[in-house]
Each structure stands twice: as C-alpha cells, then as structure tokens.
Amino acid sequence: MKISSVHEMRALDRNAVSIYGIDELILMENAGTAVCRVIENEFGMKGKTFLVLCGPGNNGGDGFVVARKIHSNGGHVEVVIAGARDAYKGPAKKNLDIIMRLPVKIRDITSVRSLSGPVSRSEAIIDAIFGTGITRRIEGMHRDIIERINKSGRTIFSVDIPSGVNGDTGQIMGIAVRADHTVTFGLPKRGNMLFPGCDLCGKLYVCHISFPPEHYDNGAIKVAVNKPPPLPARYRDAHKGSCGDALFIAGSANYYSAPYCGPRARNIHRQRNTEARMPPCRAH
C-alpha cells in the first residue's frame, strides 16, 4: 500500500478535481460517509449521543458532514466549533450552512469550561479539529480542548489523523488527541504510520473517497508498505537447522555494521551465559 506525504495528498485532491472533475463537495461527502460507516460498525449510531468538535478548514467541514449523517441516522448530535465561523470557505462553509438549517445544536466555544456540558452529555466524540497539515505547536484554548477530551473517558473517532499529530513526521505538536479509531482518506499519511502518531491513531481505517485506483497507485508516490508473506508452518520439534535460511538486508551508509554486530553481539551474549553456567575446570 502506498503511503503519502501531506503534499502528495493535497496534489491528489487537486488532481481529482481538475483531471477527473470530482467536485470537492463530493470528496467531503464521501469522507464524512466513510467516518460514519466506521462509527456505525464499531459503536452504533441510532439513539446514541455524539459530540462533534470541528476546527477550521476542511477537517471541520468533514465533521459537519459527519454531524448531519449522525442526525439523519437517528443519533443525537451536538456540534462545537473551535474557531471562527466566518473562516470557513468552499465545501466546508456549504456543509456548515446545511447543518445550521437542521435541528442540530451548534455552539461556538470560547473557553474549555463551555465544553464540560457537551462532553458530559456525549457517549462518543468525533475529533475534526485539525487535519494533517498542522505545522505549529498547539497552545491556548485548543490545547485545553484536547486535554479535556483525552480525559473524558469517551470513545474518540479522529477524522484523517488525531488532531495535533504532524501528518508527515508523526510527531506530537505539543499535544495530540488519543483516538480509539482513526479514519483516513485515500491513502494513509506518513504521520498515521510513524511513531508516536501511529500509537495515537488507535485502530486505523483507510477509506477511499472515489479516487480512481490509477490516481493514487502511481509511481510518483515512492513510499509504500509491503505485505509480508505468511510464515510456513513450524514443527513443534523444529530446530535451527530445519527451518531454512534467512537473508537480512539492513544497515545504512552510517550504520553498515549493524547487521553484523547485532547477531555477533547476541552470540557473544549466549557464549558468556553458557560459560557462566559451566563448572570451573580442574587441573589433573
């Protein structure tokens, strides 16, 4: 499976619009649908209570789609906007306008105190605060929000990547959401796969949002993970001489001796342990 950088994923999104004519509204609708499908399968939706935290940009727009679909599927949903409403543009603004016409409670948060009620009423939280493009440390009110939801004890679903995880490096930008489930779109991003971000994703789902396969499975994206072949069955009385041979391709320009030193160090360790267990020699 290919693994994309943030820049590569943005290029895929742009090309989906310019080359294939897939409208941004369709991409956002498909992203929200994918998140809701995971919520339904993993948690259920009808009759349950959800809090959707929406930050600025398209990640928040995905959250608006999720809120609308939770409402239409019989769930109880409350939306908290962690940003300025007039900052939304394009498909994100369109989806905000739609849910503002629905009987869905929407509130703007000005301090973490105003989050206590919505969190306490919720059974699950959808994190749509920040997406993969975050490059600065999270401070102030947004930091307080993430601390609050991490301490909530609620099931957390993150949209694309846990808020606060750098999409390229997996590093935590001061603080990050600890999700139970993360739904990423098109391709996994490097931040979904690299630690410590990988550990914060919980169970990761990769959902396609109508990109044609040839669009994302192309030679321009160089990073990928392979699917290792299954190991052969091992007999219970097997030993090192009956299990075949192994080839190690390892090391780098600066650490070219690591493949040699690792096994050698283990052999020395075993030898020393064996010598320690042997009785001392006696002269005859």
The answer to whether residues 45 and 228 touch, using CB atoms and an 8 Å cutoff, is: no
User: One digit per residue, pLDDT tens: the chain, 284 residues?
Assistant: 899 999 999 999 999 999 999 999 999 999 999 999 999 999 999 999 999 999 999 999 999 999 999 999 999 999 999 989 999 999 999 999 999 999 999 999 988 999 999 999 999 999 999 999 999 999 999 999 999 999 999 999 999 999 999 999 999 999 999 999 999 999 999 999 999 999 999 999 999 999 998 888 888 899 998 888 888 888 888 887 888 887 777 777 777 776 666 544 445 444 444 444 444 444 43
Instruction: Specify burial of residue 157 (Cβ count, 10 A radius: 0-12, 13-18, 19+).
Output: buried
Count helices and strands in the chain by DSSP H and E runs: 10, 7
Res 258: pLDDT = 67
Give the three-class secondary structure for 78: strand
**How far is 13 from 149, CA to CA, in rounded Å?**
30
Predicted confidence at residue 227, as pLDDT, reads: 81
Highest CATH level, class, for 6-216: alpha beta
Give CA–CA dist 39/7, Å, rounded: 28
- Give me the amino acid identity at 176: A
- What letter does residue 85 receive in the DSSP assignment? G
* DSSP 8-state assignment for residue 224: B
Token match 């808020």: residue?
Answer: 163
Note the residue count of the chain: 284
Q: Which residues contact 90 (CB under 8 A, 6 or more apart)?
A: 24, 58, 61
DSSP state of 247: -
The whole-number pLDDT of residue 249 equals 76
Q: What kind and span of H or E run contains 231?
A: none
- What are the DSSP E strand ranges found in 9-69? 49-54
171/188 Cα distance (integer angstroms): 15
Determine the pLDDT at residue 261. 62
CB 200 within 8 A of CB 178: yes
Closest CA to 208 of 183, 180, 181, 182: 183
| pLDDT (0 to 100) of residue 268 | 45
